[in-house]
Structure 1
Amino acid sequence: MLFGFGDSNNPRQDTVELVEELVIEYLTDTITAAARISQTRVRTDDLLHVLRHDEKKLARVEELLYMNEVLDRVRKAFDSDEESKA
Structure 2
Amino acid sequence: MSTGPSSKVKVGSSQPSEASLKSKRGMFRKDLHHMMYGFGDDANPLPETVALVEDIVVEYVTNLVHKAEDVATKRGNLFAKDFLFLIRKDLPKLNRCTELLSLDEDIKQAKKITWRDED
Q: Distance in 2 between matches of 1:3 and 1:79?
A: 38
2:117 counterpart of 1:60: no
Alignment length (residue pairs): 83
Q: CA RMSD in A?
A: 1.0
* Structure 2: unaligned runs, 5 residues or longer: 1-34
Q: CA deviation at 1:60?
A: 0.5
Residue equivalent to 1:37: 71
* Structure 1: unaligned runs, 5 residues or longer: none
AA aligned to 2:92 is K
2:72 counterpart of 1:9: no
Residue equivalent to 1:50: 86
| Aligned structure 1 segments of 4 or more residues deviating by more than 4 angstroms | none
Q: TM-score, normalised by structure 2?
A: 0.66
Q: CA deviation at 1:11?
A: 1.6
Structure with the largest fraction of helix: 1
Q: Distance in 2 between matches of 1:30 and 1:77?
A: 35
Instruction: Give secondary structure in 1 for the equivalent of 2:88.
Output: coil
Q: TM-score, normalised by structure 1?
A: 0.89
Identity of aligned residues (%): 37
